[in-house]
Homo-oligomer: A and B are copies of this chain.
Amino acid sequence: MRYELYYWPQIQGRGEFVRLALEEAGADYVDVARGKGGMAKLEKLMRRKSSEHPPFAPPFLKAGSLLIGQTANILSFLGARHGLVPKSEASRLWVSQLQLTMADLVVEAHDTHHPIAASLYYENQKAEAARAASCFIKERMPKFLGYFEDVLTANGKAGFLGGRALSYADLSLFQVVEGLRYAFPRAMKGLEKKLPRTLALHDRVAARPKIAAYLSSSRRIPFNQHGIFRHYAELDVS
């Protein structure tokens, strides 16, 4: 069975968390909206009348007869299918909890450049974005990243977020670090000395053969100013 991933074709965005899991799993998948006629297919599945379980928004994944939406939900599904999460109930709940906490961070990172409304241009909320980004960088980034650092520290030097084995949450933390480095290079530089375990995990994920191959392929969309993580120098206060 070939998975069909549906996500906006020009950005990493939330779809990237799913792409990383599919790549690490070595799963057969197609990134539908990046192919010919793909956006029409994406829109068709979102139509309420042509879909039994219509998703509210991308990303969503077609897996045989299943159509699954919401990033953390997709990852929970893929993790169980592809050994990207330990088998015990306790571990699965824990990894899901970590993923959802990263999802909260991702919303806040997005909202630094769109604090008023996602539908308005950045240019129409620049002053508000400057205030929001300043609070995010000073309070929220250290709080979130410090939390994951502490979890990793508790799991030992060769450990992962979920314990002794790699899980999809580790791939996601890699992506969070990538995104924050792109969006806020100055702020991240100041923080990184407090995040040795997180950065070591980031590097271990990047060096995994399938992830390394993916990152150097054209399947990896470069960061840009349309995604969730955006670089506006004026927001990158340290």
Measuring CB to CB, which residues of chain A are less than 8 angstroms from any residue of chain B? 48, 52-57, 65-66, 68-70, 72-73, 76-77, 89-90, 93-94, 96-97, 100-101, 104, 107, 111, 115-117, 119-120, 125, 128, 131-132, 135-136, 139-140, 144, 147, 150-151, 154
Contact = CB atoms under 8 A, between A and B. Distances in A.
A67 to B, nearest CB: 9
Contact of A100 (B54, B72, B90, B115): B72
A154 B90 contact: no
30 contacts: A48-B147, A48-B150, A48-B151, A48-B154, A53-B94, A56-B101, A56-B104, A66-B89, A66-B90, A68-B93, A68-B97, A72-B72, A73-B96, A73-B97, A73-B100, A77-B93, A104-B107, A107-B107, A111-B111, A115-B115, A115-B128, A115-B132, A116-B128, A117-B131, A117-B132, A117-B135, A117-B139, A117-B140, A119-B135, A128-B128
Contact of A54 (B52, B125, B131, B150): B150
A131 to B, nearest CB: 5
